[in-house]
């Protein structure tokens, strides 16, 4: 009897990881894996979003995934990443980025949980967030650093949960209410 297993979550950009982890580009799976995504998911039961598939394990099961990828022509770093996240997080502070050595992937520790996400390489996440805040009329240069990073982190968390446009509206509303209340010293352009 087959069991139900959630393997695809379209709304989550970031996927949680643990222990030994393999992150695979979905396009590589579609291009190289015999039977494509359906066959890969049935065999290895990864968690997926629109761009990546993630397999995590504490034991030898992860080696089976690794060997299967290599046997089917996948190239490490180009098509997939393999690492032991438990060795990385020991040295991290909250919201630190974990060096992945893979151009298309980013990894960070957020609220005690390590996450990975697909990165297209055009701009850093910080650059995009700063640009979006500036477009909303928020001038990071006119803010105290602690105030800006607090606002940036709230925006980032909201954008992950409710989407970028809704998060921008929420941050603008927060800024207006803060200015009306005279709180926080937040300044707008």
Report in angstroms the alpha-carbon separations of 53 from 9, 21, 117, 143, 159: 10, 10, 10, 39, 21
State pTM to two decimals: 0.60
Give the pLDDT confidence of 111-133 residue by residue, as tens digits: 888 889 998 766 666 667 777 77
Residue 45 phi, psi (nearest 5): 50, 55
Would you list the DSSP string of 45-85?
Answer: --EE-SSEEEEEESSTHHHHHHHHHHHTT--BTTTEEEEEH
Highest mean predicted confidence (pLDDT) among 13-17, 122-126, 165-169: 13-17
Residue 6 phi, psi (nearest 5): -75, 115
Q: What is the mean pLDDT of residues 11-35?
A: 92
In the numeric block, the tokens 């291009």 are attached to 31
* Cα-based angle 47, 103, 99 (whole degrees, multiple of 5): 80
Mean pLDDT of the chain: 80
pLDDT level of residue 99 (50, 70, 90 thresholds): low
Domain ranges in the chain are 15-118, 125-181
Residue 123: the pLDDT is 61
Return the percentage of the chain with pLDDT > 70, whole number.
75
Q: What is the mean pLDDT of residues 37-64?
A: 92
pLDDT level of residue 29 (50, 70, 90 thresholds): very high
């Amino acid at each position: 009897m087959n069991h139900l297993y959630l393997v695809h979550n379209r709304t989550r950009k970031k996927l949680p990881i643990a222990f030994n982890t393999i992150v695979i580009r979905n396009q590589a799976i579609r291009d190289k894996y015999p039977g494509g995504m359906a066959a890969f998911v049935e065999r290895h039961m990864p968690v997926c979003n629109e761009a990546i598939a993630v397999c995590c394990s504490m034991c030898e099961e992860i080696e089976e995934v690794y060997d299967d990828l290599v046997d089917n022509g996948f190239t490490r770093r180009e098509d997939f990443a393999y690492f032991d996240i438990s060795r990385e997080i020991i040295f991290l502070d909250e919201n630190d980025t974990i060096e992945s050595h893979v151009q298309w992937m980013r990894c960070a520790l957020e609220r005690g949980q390590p996450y990975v996400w697909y990165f297209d390489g055009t701009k850093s996440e910080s650059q995009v967030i700063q640009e979006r805040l500036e477009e909303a009329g928020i001038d990071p240069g006119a803010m105290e650093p602690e105030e800006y990073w607090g606002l940036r982190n709230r925006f980032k968390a909201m954008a992950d949960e409710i989407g970028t446009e809704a998060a921008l509206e929420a941050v603008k509303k927060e800024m207006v209410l803060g200015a009306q209340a005279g709180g926080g010293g937040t300044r707008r352009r």
